[in-house]
Amino acid sequence: MSHVSRNLLGIFALLACGLALGLGACGSSDDTGPVRIQLADAPFPFGMLDSAAVAIRGVEVHVVAHDGDGSGFYTVSSEDDTVNLLDLQNGVTLLLGETEVPVGLINQVRLLVEDAWVVLSDGREFDLTIPSGEQSGIKIHVQPPIEVRGELTADLLLDFDVSRSFHPIPASAVQASEIQEFHFRPSVRAANLSESGAVAGRVVDDLDTPANPDDDVPIEGATVTAFRGDEELSSTATDDEGHFVLLGLPAGQITLIASANGFIDASEDLTVVAGNILEDNVLRLARF
């Protein structure tokens, strides 16, 4: 039976307070506050996949309650969902669920994944083994912890990094027919959307005329990665118009690096502002 799922861009909620993104007021008491979990990804760096999917059977958060009595894990969603992570790029997110938890600090998210698989561009499908340590859930540490308050929704973004999670064998493969198997080692980053920012822009071919931006051509499938020093924060791939969006970036100085086969990398230093999106950034690549 094929695991491929195509219509994955809808959203659903458990005990939903509302469906809008960002911070929102919900009807909650002084003792509890709403939590919403969304999913995005940093896409696989090769053009060899038709899908990279996970079957999620639930998500939980660990809360250190302010009063001490309500500390523990809370179920945000127990719904089953099949997610093609390649559909979650450039600002597209999937709402996994939301619920009420005691006011306090969220310091861990547990993503319950029961299956994972990839389908290559040549039609071959690989069912992947879930690591034994992950069968009780992928443990995602939230640093710094996210505060849950009674009046506002705590918005968490889970950035599921496909390039770090799905490992082709051999790693040196340059076309789909060379891949013999995959290893699955989940890599997921948690970000607080209320205290982070976003960056958007385009990656283009400068056609060897760097002084003339009017003839620039968009590059599809270029990789755009955000760094803070040597730390990789997030990455994505450009669409067919060369556009990209990176969500959940911490406020402060970052460096964007764009790369594509046959081109020299380009970089740009930016200052991310919490709650804002830096738009219209253009990274112009020159050919080797």
> In terms of domains, do 275 and 247 share one?
yes
> In terms of domains, do 70 and 149 share one?
yes
Please compute, for residue 210, the number of CA atoms within 13 A of its CA located in the half-sphere on the CB side: 7
> In terms of domains, do 269 and 159 share one?
no
Residues sharing a CB contact under 8 Å with residue 43, sequence separation 6 or more, in sequence order: 85, 86, 89, 162, 163, 235, 236, 237
Write the DSSP string, 245-266: EEEEEESEEEEEEEE-TTEE-E
Q: Where are the alpha helices (DSSP H) in 49-206?
A: 162-165
265 located within any domain: yes
> In terms of domains, do 109 and 240 share one?
no
pLDDT given at position 107: 94
> In terms of domains, do 275 and 234 share one?
yes
For residue 234, give the CATH number of its domain: 2.60.40.10
Whether the CB-CB separation of 242 and 219 falls below 8 Å is answered with yes
Place of tokens 């390039």: 163
Residues sharing a CB contact under 8 Å with residue 247, sequence separation 6 or more, in sequence order: 40, 91, 93, 157, 159, 191, 193, 196, 198, 234
53 located within any domain: yes
**Final residue of a structural domain among 145, 165, 186:** 186
Write the DSSP string, 60-88: EEEEEETTSTT-EEEEEE---EEEEGGGS
Domain of residue 109: give its range: 32-186
4 located within any domain: no
191 located within any domain: no
77 located within any domain: yes
> In terms of domains, do 135 and 225 share one?
no
Q: Tell me the two tokens of residue 224.
A: 């755009």
Can the peptide bond before residue 218 be classed as cis, meaning omega within 30 degrees of 0? no
> In terms of domains, do 174 and 222 share one?
no
> In terms of domains, do 173 and 142 share one?
yes
**Distant-in-sequence contacts of 23-28, Cβ < 8 A, 24+ apart:** 23/152, 23/153, 23/155, 23/194, 24/152, 24/153, 25/151, 25/152, 25/153, 26/153, 28/100, 28/150, 28/151
Cα 100 to Cα 26, 61, 156: the distances in Å are 10, 11, 14
> In terms of domains, do 201 and 159 share one?
no
Give how many domains the chain has, as a whole number.
2
What is the chain's pLDDT, residue by residue, as a tens digit (288 residues)?
A: 333 222 222 222 222 222 223 333 344 557 887 777 766 554 444 577 889 999 999 999 999 998 878 899 999 999 898 999 888 877 888 899 989 999 999 999 999 998 999 999 999 999 999 886 666 789 999 988 999 987 778 888 998 887 778 888 887 777 889 899 999 999 898 988 888 999 999 999 998 888 888 889 999 888 899 999 988 888 888 888 999 999 999 999 999 999 888 899 999 999 999 989 999 999 999 998
> In terms of domains, do 230 and 275 share one?
yes
Stretch (H or E) spanning 111: strand 104-120
211 located within any domain: yes
Q: Tell me the two tokens of residue 173.
A: 């493969």
> In terms of domains, do 138 and 108 share one?
yes
Q: What pTM was estimated for this model as a whole?
A: 0.73
pLDDT given at position 40: 58
227 located within any domain: yes
Q: Tell me the two tokens of residue 2.
A: 């094929």
**Final residue of a structural domain among 186, 217, 239:** 186
**Final residue of a structural domain among 134, 167, 186:** 186
By CB atoms closer than 10 A (0-12, 13-18, 19+), residue 214 is: exposed
103 located within any domain: yes
> In terms of domains, do 111 and 229 share one?
no
Residues sharing a CB contact under 8 Å with residue 113, sequence separation 6 or more, in sequence order: 54, 55, 56, 57, 130, 134, 137, 138, 186
